[in-house]
Chains A and B, each alone.
Chain A
Amino acid sequence: MNSPKYSPPLLDRWLATFLQYGTWVACAVIAAGLVLNAATGAGMLDAKDARWATTVVTAGVGLFVLLPILRVTLMLAIFAQQRNRRYVAIAATVLAIIAVGCVLGTRLGPVGG
């Protein structure tokens, strides 16, 4: 007898879809930047386009850094929709800690000198 196919909760499904597509987009952006760089190196594009290649790779890296932060924001929104105040507060705390880390970390300057 076949048992019914397992279906995870809505929150889990949304998070899975978001993280999967987010990973693909960030990978595609980095790959596009690297291809652009290779094309510049091979002389197929103008040398000044190399700057663009680095910018595109940086955007892809930034997207990866942003992805988990957006994931917590998505969780906050879903918990808010479910009127789960306790978890809205926990998600907001995590986001606040990350924000404080970014502000304080940036003010301290690079560790390498």
Chain B
Amino acid sequence: MLYSATIAIFPVDQPRHTMSLTVTLWLFFAGLGSSALGGMLGMASGLFIVPMLVVLFHLDLHVAIGASIVSVIACSCGGAANFLRHGLTNVRLALVLETGTTLGALTGVLVAGLIPVAALDFLFAVVLLVSAWQMYIRRADPVGTASASRSGLAAALNLHSSYRDPRLNRDVPYEVRRVPAGLSLMYVAGLVSALLGIGSGILKIPAMDHALRLPIKVSTATSNFMIGVTAAASAGAYFLRGEIVSAIAGPVALGSVIGAVIGARVLMKVSNEKLRLLFLSVLVLVACAMLLQGFGIDLTPAHHR
């Protein structure tokens, strides 16, 4: 059943170990496009890769999730170096929070087979709508300069740190709050990441902003750094049990790494209000497509035949 939907990718008269060049190229560009779009939004590529593979390529949802989770890792690893070199990533905090995200991913791996595909389609649509909402309300650096507890978990684990602000050209100190609350939210983010094959960056924002009260630049960098390990926790199991079809995941991941670079460059140049509204509409549209998919309504029946 898992491979039934890959018939379109591997024609019946073609041996299973060969990959059609045309389809490989299409998958490469699907990864590139999704990742460039995600990069322009400052998000991971997974949000667009899964809907694209399911709606346009008619792949089994689990095959799409397997391919997406690999490209999520690729984008996280590819983007991490830049954040680390600019001193924006809190690596100690990332490691502490990864205990929560990997536990969530472990739960996701164990329950993935029990959840019906339609329910996953609906959950995906909900995550897309939450993402649209996050885009709509926009994020702001947490206010309040009251000193954090000196005896809490954050202090014990030496999590308070500083980041380099390139505009001010100096280190800006910050304190980490409510680590247990952050860890609980990270567990949920890890669970959703494993179930849907996404980075769950969007679900980490409430944990980073409201529980831990991190500056936006630090939370973006730290979240990106954590996404790789979160995704690897589920991808390892999916890969070992042969659920990641490399003929699909390979070109998508390669396209994603290149797309993320293009997306990040565009983000630097054209970050304006109209673009934000355009992407907000795209997120709502993709959410609608996944909702229809959940109801079993095929949007591109002509291609299916």
A residues with a Cβ closer than 8 A to B are: 3, 6, 8-9, 11-13, 15-17, 19-20, 22-23, 26-27, 30-31, 33-34, 37-38, 40-42, 47, 50-51, 53-54, 57-58, 60-62, 64-69, 71-72, 75, 86-87, 90-91, 93-94, 97-98, 100-102, 104-106, 108-113
Q: A65–B232 contact, CB under 8 A?
A: yes
Cβ of A111 to closest chain B Cβ, rounded Å: 4
Q: A65–B112 contact, CB under 8 A?
A: no
Jot down 26 A-B pairs with beta carbons below 8 A, ordered by A.
A16-B82, A19-B228, A26-B77, A34-B24, A41-B20, A47-B15, A50-B17, A54-B246, A57-B19, A61-B246, A64-B73, A64-B74, A65-B235, A65-B239, A68-B76, A69-B232, A90-B96, A94-B102, A97-B99, A97-B106, A98-B236, A101-B102, A102-B237, A105-B238, A106-B241, A108-B241
Residue with the highest number of chain B CB atoms closer than 10 Å, among A41, A93, A94, A106: A94
Chain B, Cβ-Cβ closest to A21:
B81
Q: A3–B169 contact, CB under 8 A?
A: yes
CB contacts (< 8 Å) of A57 on chain B: these are 19, 246-247, 250
Q: A110–B243 contact, CB under 8 A?
A: yes
Chain B, Cβ-Cβ closest to A3:
B169
CB contacts (< 8 Å) of B77 on chain A: these are 19, 22-23, 26, 64, 67-68, 71
CB contacts (< 8 Å) of B234 on chain A: these are 101, 105
Chain B, Cβ-Cβ closest to A101:
B106
User: How distant is the Cα of A64 from the Cα of B227 in the complex, in angstroms?
Assistant: 13
Chain B, residues 87-102, CB within 8 Å of chain A (1/0): the string is 1010110011011001
Q: A71–B1 contact, CB under 8 A?
A: no
The 8 closest A-B pairs by CB, nearest first: A105-B237, A112-B2, A68-B228, A111-B113, A16-B84, A57-B250, A113-B1, A20-B81
Asked whether A72 and B98 contact (CB < 8 A) given A98-B233, A105-B237, the answer is: yes
User: How distant is the Cα of A107 from the Cα of B233 in the complex, in angstroms?
Assistant: 15
Q: B232–A54 contact, CB under 8 A?
A: no
Chain B, Cβ-Cβ closest to A11:
B91
Supply 17 further A-B pairs (C-beta < 8 A) apart from A12-B84, A111-B243: A8-B84, A19-B78, A19-B81, A23-B74, A23-B257, A41-B18, A47-B15, A54-B19, A61-B246, A61-B250, A67-B228, A68-B76, A69-B229, A75-B91, A75-B95, A93-B99, A112-B1
Chain B, residues 161-194, CB within 8 Å of chain A (1/0): the string is 0001000010000000000000000000000000
CB contacts (< 8 Å) of A62 on chain B: these are 239
Cβ of A98 to closest chain B Cβ, rounded Å: 5
Q: B239–A53 contact, CB under 8 A?
A: no
User: How distant is the Cα of A69 from the Cα of B228 in the complex, in angstroms?
Assistant: 9
B44 beta carbon closer than 8 Å to chain A: no
Q: A106–B81 contact, CB under 8 A?
A: no
Q: A54–B17 contact, CB under 8 A?
A: yes
CB contacts (< 8 Å) of B246 on chain A: these are 54, 57-58, 60-61
Chain B, residues 144-157, CB within 8 Å of chain A (1/0): the string is 00000000000001
Chain B, Cβ-Cβ closest to A59:
B246
Q: B239–A86 contact, CB under 8 A?
A: no
Q: B91–A65 contact, CB under 8 A?
A: no
User: How distant is the Cα of A93 from the Cα of B96 in the complex, in angstroms?
Assistant: 10
Q: B103–A97 contact, CB under 8 A?
A: yes
Chain A, Cβ-Cβ closest to B229:
A68
B8 beta carbon closer than 8 Å to chain A: no
Q: A68–B73 contact, CB under 8 A?
A: yes
CB contacts (< 8 Å) of A20 on chain B: these are 78, 81
User: How distant is the Cα of A27 from the Cα of B257 in the complex, in angstroms?
Assistant: 8
